[in-house]
């Protein structure tokens, strides 16, 4: 999916004091085609985008960034990329906290501390109408300094759990760049099974009762791991194993 040599060296960063959304910017830039990976990063966003059309609160202090990457084509392998990104953000937190914080992962790529959300990831893809080059944009928001208040939803920041750890967004992005290139290299070289093995060791979802939407159907069941494509399997009350390929997952009951 990626050219391995594009993952070898640090990706350049374009920093903005304020922008509408780094992912919206990536989409605009992608129209002209993408030759090499690039990070767009902003201190604040005025129209931060979350998954499923939600808003992402983007005041100064946290990290808001999007990597825009040329890819060979749109493929189901994007599920492996999605898991790899969650692992990369988790690696970043472990590195920045020098091992004091070990986050858990919730499918597909939420990074959590004690069940509260620390970061969000938004994947978008397309093809340049001008150059016909396919692209992938990886939007990442990480609560470094503060955790937005969201009704009925637990959020956390690095500063809240480790008040002595003041991480500027620039420093976080430098570490994230290395972690993300490392995980994408792992995926490219060793494939999905290697990523799934690591993801399963890192998830905090084992034994949890999960609820997800499958079309207009709501599926509830115990987390049963991932299939070989990286999709989530739920063990429902009838004993049927149902595979969830996309969408939001609500944890009805943690382990």
Handedness of CA 150, 97, 200, 209 (dihedral sign): negative
Candidates 64, 135, 199, 223: give the one binding ligand BTN (CB under 6 A): 64
Please report whether residue 169 would count as binding ligand BTN according to CB under 6 A: no
Among 71, 79, 93, 121, binds ligand BTN (CB under 6 A): 121
Compose the 12-31 pattern: x for residues touching ligand BTN by CB under 6 A, - for all others: ---------xxx--------
- Give the residue with the Cβ less far from ligand BTN, 42 or 219: 42
Answer yes or no whether residue 48 interacts with ligand BTN by CB under 6 A. yes
The answer to the question of residue 49 lying near ligand BTN (CB under 6 A) is yes
Please tell me whether residue 104 binds ligand BTN under the rule CB under 6 A: no
Distance CA 71, CA 181 (A): 14
Please give the C-alpha separations between residue 68 and each of 79, 122, 163, in angstroms, as whole numbers. Answer: 17, 12, 32
Q: Please identify which residue in 30, 37, 65, 123 interacts with ligand BTN, judged by CB under 6 A.
A: 65
Structure-block tokens of residue 146: 């503060």
Direct distance between the N- and C-terminal alpha carbons of the chain, in angstroms, rounded to an integer: 36
Whole-angstrom distance, CA of residue 33 vs CA of residue 141: 24
Whose CA is closest to 60, among 17, 30, 23?
Answer: 17
Nearest residue to 206 via CA among 115, 77, 99: 115
**Segment contacting ligand BTN by CB under 6 A, of 47-55, 68-76, 85-93, 171-179:** 47-55
139, 169, 221, 230: residue in contact with ligand BTN (rule CB under 6 A):
139
Q: Is the dihedral of CA 64, 115, 81, 221 positive or negative?
A: negative
108 binds ligand BTN (CB under 6 A): no
User: Residues in the site for ligand BTN, rule: CB under 6 A?
Assistant: 21-23, 45, 48-51, 54, 56, 64-66, 120-122, 139-141
């Amino acid at each position: 999916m990626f050219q391995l040599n594009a993952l070898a060296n640090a990706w350049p960063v374009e920093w903005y004091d304020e922008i509408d959304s780094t992912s919206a910017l990536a989409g605009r830039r992608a129209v002209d085609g993408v030759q090499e990976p690039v990070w767009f990063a902003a201190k604040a966003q005025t129209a931060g985008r979350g998954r499923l059309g939600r808003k992402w609160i983007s005041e100064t202090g946290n990290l808001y960034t999007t990597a825009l990457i040329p890819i060979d084509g749109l493929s189901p392998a994007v599920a492996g990329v999605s898991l790899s990104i969650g692992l990369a953000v988790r690696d970043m937190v472990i590195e920045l906290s020098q091992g004091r914080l070990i986050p858990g992962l919730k499918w597909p790529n939420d990074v959590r501390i004690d069940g509260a959300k620390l970061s969000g990831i938004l994947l978008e893809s397309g093809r340049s109408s001008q150059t016909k080059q396919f692209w992938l944009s990886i939007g990442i928001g990480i609560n470094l300094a503060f955790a937005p208040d969201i009704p009925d939803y637990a959020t956390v920041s690095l500063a809240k759990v480790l008040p002595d750890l003041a991480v500027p967004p620039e420093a976080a992005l430098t570490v994230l760049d290395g972690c993300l290139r490392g995980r994408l290299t792992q995926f490219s070289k060793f494939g999905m099974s290697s990523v799934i093995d690591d993801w399963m060791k890192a998830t905090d979802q084992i034994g949890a009762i999960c609820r997800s939407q499958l079309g207009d159907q709501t599926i509830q069941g115990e987390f049963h791991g991932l299939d070989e494509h990286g999709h989530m399997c739920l063990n429902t009350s009838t004993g049927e194993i149902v595979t969830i390929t996309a969408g939001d997952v609500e944890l009805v009951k943690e382990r």
